[in-house]
Amino acid sequence: MNKKTWLIFCCLAIGIASYSIVQYLILDAHQAGFVSMKHMFIDTLDSLWFTMLYIHIIFSVLALVIGPFTLFSKFREKDIKRHRILGKIYIIGILFGSVSGLYLAFYATGGFVSQLGFSALSILWMITGYQALVKIKEQKIYDHQKWMVRNYSLTFAAVTLRIWLLVFTVLFGFDNFIISYPIISWLCWVPNLIVAQWIIQRKLQVSAQ
């Protein structure tokens, strides 16, 4: 990842992370736009749902912000010990973020298609994180890096979700949200994963030359 790309990822990640912290942890989460929207389709949200939401926000934000610092080679190679510490915190973020995300996916707006989309995201987020952890324990550095690229592309769904929400709202209006959201539940992460795989294949081709 070059410096310009890294800076873009950092700015977007920190921006969405800051927005989430303010909306859900500093202000009243019950009044947040996402929660207010849920109330339009679900009459009551119990305390367990809100607990899972808080867990998801805290740990997903942690992973979202730390991720770019683990992927940027110059930052990583400058202090390997620091990289390992950040990596451990990142994996903890993935663990709690994915488990809570899977629970929240069952309440996703838009019915079965949305529920399946966000469930698939949470499960793949967990699996790719686990694979990255296994590969580094086996000292397979390059394989670890490939799985981390895949994993962070799924972490970055927190950003692309909101970008697609804005695009669909501008193009089709809020009145069509119930139709748009099931599409977004897949669109927020599938293209990310495709791009991640393209980056990995491109690096393989360059290294083979």
Residue pair 140/157 in contact (Cβ under 8 Å)? The answer is no
- Residue type for position 30: H
pLDDT at 77 over 90: no
C-beta of residue 142 within 8 angstroms of C-beta of residue 121: no
Q: What is the pLDDT of residue 7?
A: 87
Over residues 180-200, the mean pLDDT reads 95
Report pLDDT digits (tens) over 126-176. Answer: 999 999 999 999 999 999 999 999 999 999 999 999 999 999 999 988 788
pLDDT at 208: 43
DSSP notation for 48-116: HHHHHHHHHHHHHHHHHHHHHHHH-HHHHHH-HHHHHHHHHHHHHHHHHHHHHHHHHHTT-TTSHHHHH
SS3 of residue 148 by DSSP: helix
Confidence of residue 209 (pLDDT cuts 50, 70, 90): very low
What is the biggest distance separating any 2 CA atoms in the chain, rounded to whole angstroms?
Answer: 59
- Tokens 């699996």 locate to 127
Q: Is the pLDDT of residue 38 over 80?
A: no
Assessment of whether the complete model's pTM goes beyond 0.85: yes
- Which segment of 83-87, 99-103, 119-123, 149-153 scores lowest on mean pLDDT? 83-87
31 vs 88, residue with greater confidence: 88
Which tokens sit at 22?
Answer: 């303010």
Q: Give residue-wise pLDDT tens across range 97-113.
A: 999 999 999 988 888 99
**Of residues 108, 100, 97, the one with CA closest to residue 67:** 97
Whole-angstrom distance, CA of residue 133 vs CA of residue 113: 30
Q: Using 50, 70 and 90 to split pLDDT, how confident is the model at 36?
A: low
Distance CA 105, CA 120 (A): 9
pLDDT score of 144: 94
Tokens of 157: 């769904």
pLDDT on residue 32 = 67
pLDDT at 47 over 90: no
> Who has greater pLDDT, 51 or 3?
51
Residue 156: C-alpha distances to residues 13, 61, 86, 191 (Å): 7, 10, 17, 11
Instruction: Give mean pLDDT, residues 182-203.
Output: 94
